Amino acid sequence: MQIVKNFIDGEFVDSVEGKTFDKRSPVDNSVIARVAEAGQVDVDRAVRAAQAARNGVWGGLTTDQRVDLLYGVADEITRRFEDFVAAEMADTGQPRHVMTHVFIPRGAANFKVFADVIKNVPTEAFQMATPDGRGALNYGIRVPKGVVGVISPWNAPFLLMTWKVAPALACGNTVVVKPSEETPLTAALLGEVMNKVGIPRGVYNVVNGFGPSSAGEHLTRHPGIDAITFTGETRTGTTIMQAAAQGMRDVSFELGGKNAGIVFADADFDAAVEGIFRSAFLNSGQVCLGTERVYVERPIFERFVAALKQKAEAVKFGRPDDPEANYGPLISDEHRRKVLSYYAKAVEEGATVVTGGGVPDMPAALEQGNWVQPTIWTGLPETAAVVREEVFGPCCHIRPFDTEDEVVNMANDNDYGLSTTIWTTNLARAHRMAGRIEVGITWINSWFLRDLRTAFGGSKQSGIGREGGVHSLEFYTETRNVCVKL
């Protein structure tokens, strides 16, 4: 069995109290790793190591030197691509093609993009008049925030963790990462990469454990943490924000979603079915940007429901490396119970179950895994729990609509505001709607196309702040103004 240690000050270490927890495989719930659980003392050591590195060798490097090192990290991730793919498949149980096409390449890309951004984005400068007529020049300089606490979730572990670690380091900060307790493997592997390419000790630290009364809470409450960047549930964000209030630490939050997919009758039908299928069911529906509410213009409603049903019923469940399979389990038994409770609630609230609604028949070796069927409902009112609340599973409710105004109002009638996907050939209408829908990102005739230079984040209860490109620099640095009298 694999042993996963914390990574503190450039070394893999057990926790001081010797506590551990088991990491189970999503495909059969067998224990695949024993993980060191960091306590207060371990978190404190990690924060001190990060402070020392920030004030020492890392703080003394030029931007060009940091950029070279971050390119080295990206190259080493690419060189060890298969190790990362294997680790992420073991942690998440998701199919190999999701790892090789999305999750792992994005990890390497995150380091390259933010190395380029920090090298190329200028700061502001303003000339001003003064009473003596000689004027003054103002210019901005960016300084790192200090030690950044990175708290990440389990659904796209490496992608989402490096999306925050890369810009933090590019800007000259050091980090202490708390990966999800469900997915500790790739954060540990990244420690090996950091050492291999010569990132100084203490720059990247990893403490494993849970949230409340464990590594997560110790980290977010630690006074040595200067800023906190978090991806996860909105409820957890509320708790972390309370911790961050002590000491006025800045936060950047990417939170939950209950995203609408909107299909007009004039859309390219097959592309729309494929796009909604991906957005509802990729990664077994465990994607914050995924679609759990689908609105289809009435003339094509029945045909669309039938086409999506056919695709949902064609998935092949199995292990991540099974070439015959293309569909994985949920992350944990606990999450499966939550998703299945929503499946039961949908029926109680009067849903028509178009397909799914339960657990697939699996061979004996996989029976103990966290499998659930992709599920489609129709017939629920907009007040139903599965139409309002984030399930974070492979499911969606489909409802017909008649007018643009009606569908915009329904899309906006939710506490979340992360993303939407609109399918139509009438681009004037699509642009108009993009301005009206209250979300951080609108995709038109596409979904999950990511240009890492763009602003990424959520509206309403889906987040605070924006990351991506220059927006990440806003969070991971502080801009200071220098005013020079001429």
Ligand X SMILES: NC(=O)C1=CN([C@@H]2O[C@H](COP(=O)(O)OP(=O)(O)OC[C@H]3O[C@@H](n4cnc5c(N)ncnc54)[C@H](O)[C@@H]3O)[C@@H](O)[C@H]2O)C=CC1
Minimum CB separation of residue 264 from ligand LM24SWP5 in Å reads 26
| The one segment of 9-17, 73-81, 156-164, 330-338 that binds ligand LM24SWP5 by CB under 6 A | 156-164
Identify whether 17 is a catalytic site residue.
no
- Segment lying near ligand LM24SWP5 (by CB under 6 A), choices 34-42, 61-69, 112-120, 286-294: 286-294
* Closest alpha carbon to 289 in 214, 390, 206: 390
| Residues 365-394 as x/- pattern, contact with ligand X by CB under 6 A | -------------------------x-x--
Distance CA 409, CA 294 (A): 13
Return all residues near 183 (Cβ < 8 A) that are at least 6 apart. Answer: 88, 91, 92, 154, 157, 331
Is 159 among the residues that bind ligand LM24SWP5 (CB under 6 A)? yes
Which of 76, 254, 292, 390 is catalytic? The answer is 254
- Helical H runs in 80-197? 81-92, 96-98, 104-120, 157-170, 185-197
Please tell me the chain's helix, strand, coil percentages from 3-state DSSP, rounded to the nearest 5: 40, 25, 35
Q: Does 418 sit near ligand LM24SWP5 (CB under 6 A)?
A: no
* Interface residue with ligand X, options 70, 98, 288, 452 (CB under 6 A): 288
Minimum CB separation of residue 446 from ligand X in Å reads 17
As to burial, measured by CB atoms within 10 angstroms (0-12 exposed, 13-18 middle, 19+ buried), residue 478 is: middle
How far is CA 445 from its chain centroid?
Answer: 22
Question: Of the ranges 285-293, 368-376, 390-398, 409-417, which one interacts with ligand LM24SWP5 (CB under 6 A)?
Answer: 285-293
**How far is residue 428's CA from residue 311's CA, in Å, rounded to a whole number?**
30
- How many C-beta atoms surround the C-beta of residue 309 within 10 A? 16
- Quote the CA–CA distance of 156 and 305 in Å, as a whole number: 28
Site of tokens 């050591």: 45
Which range binds ligand LM24SWP5 by CB under 6 A, 46-54, 152-160, 194-202, 214-222? 152-160
The interface region with ligand LM24SWP5, picked from 63-71, 153-161, 264-272, 321-329 by CB under 6 A, is 153-161
Report the residue from 19, 388, 450, 460 that binds ligand LM24SWP5 according to the rule CB under 6 A: 450
DSSP classification of residue 103 = I
> In this structure, is the dihedral angle defined by the CA atoms of residues 470, 471, 475 and 479, taken in order, positive or negative?
positive
> Measured in whole angstroms, how far is the alpha carbon of residue 402 from the centre of its chain?
34
Closest CA to 63 of 205, 150, 169: 169
The answer to whether 418 contacts ligand X (rule: CB under 6 A) is yes
**Partner from ligand X, ligand LM24SWP5, none contacting 174, C-beta within 5 to 8 A by type:** none
x/- mask, ligand X, residues 3-42, rule CB under 6 A, reads ----------------------------------------
Measured between alpha carbons, how far is 189 from 92 in angstroms, rounded to an integer?
A: 15
450 contacts which partner out of ligand X, ligand LM24SWP5, none, CB within 5 to 8 A by kind?
ligand LM24SWP5
Report if residue 289 touches ligand LM24SWP5, rule: CB under 6 A: yes
Question: Could you tell me the two tokens for 306?
Answer: 């039938």
- 232-257 CB burial, b ≥16 within 10 A, e <16: bbbebbebbbebbeeeebbbbbbbbb
- CA 171, CA 140: separation in Å to the nearest integer? 15
Site mask for ligand X (CB under 6 A), range 256-285, x = bound: xx----------------------------
Q: How far is the CB of 441 from ligand LM24SWP5 (least distance, A)?
A: 9
d(CA 269, CA 290): 19
Per-residue binder mask for ligand X (CB under 6 A), 216-255, x = binder: xx--x----------xxx--x--xx-------------xx
Q: Which does 150 bind (CB under 5 to 8 A by kind): ligand LM24SWP5, ligand X, none?
A: none
- Look up residue 227 and give its amino acid: A
Q: Which of 287, 296, 330, 408 binds ligand LM24SWP5 (CB under 6 A)?
A: 287
> Tokens 């592309």 sit at which residue?
271
User: What residues from 109 to 168 belong to the interface with ligand X (CB under 6 A)?
Assistant: 151-155, 160
Q: Decide: is 155 part of the binding site for ligand LM24SWP5 (CB under 6 A).
A: yes
Shorter beta-carbon distance to ligand LM24SWP5: residue 343 or 456: 456
Instruction: Give the Cα separation of 54 and 176 in Å (integer).
Output: 12
288: contact with ligand LM24SWP5 by CB under 6 A: yes
> For the CA atoms of the chain, what is the radius of gyration?
23
Residue 62 burial by Cβ neighbours in a 10 Å radius (0-12, 13-18, 19+):
exposed
Binders of ligand LM24SWP5: how many residues, by CB under 6 A?
10
State in angstroms the smallest separation of the CB of 163 from ligand LM24SWP5: 5
Binding positions for ligand X, rule: CB under 6 A:
151-155, 160, 178, 180-181, 210-212, 216-217, 220, 231-233, 236, 239-240, 254-257, 288, 390, 392, 418, 458, 462-463
Report, as residue numbers or ranges, the catalytic residues: 254
The residues binding ligand LM24SWP5 (CB under 6 A) are 155-156, 159, 163, 283, 287-289, 450, 456
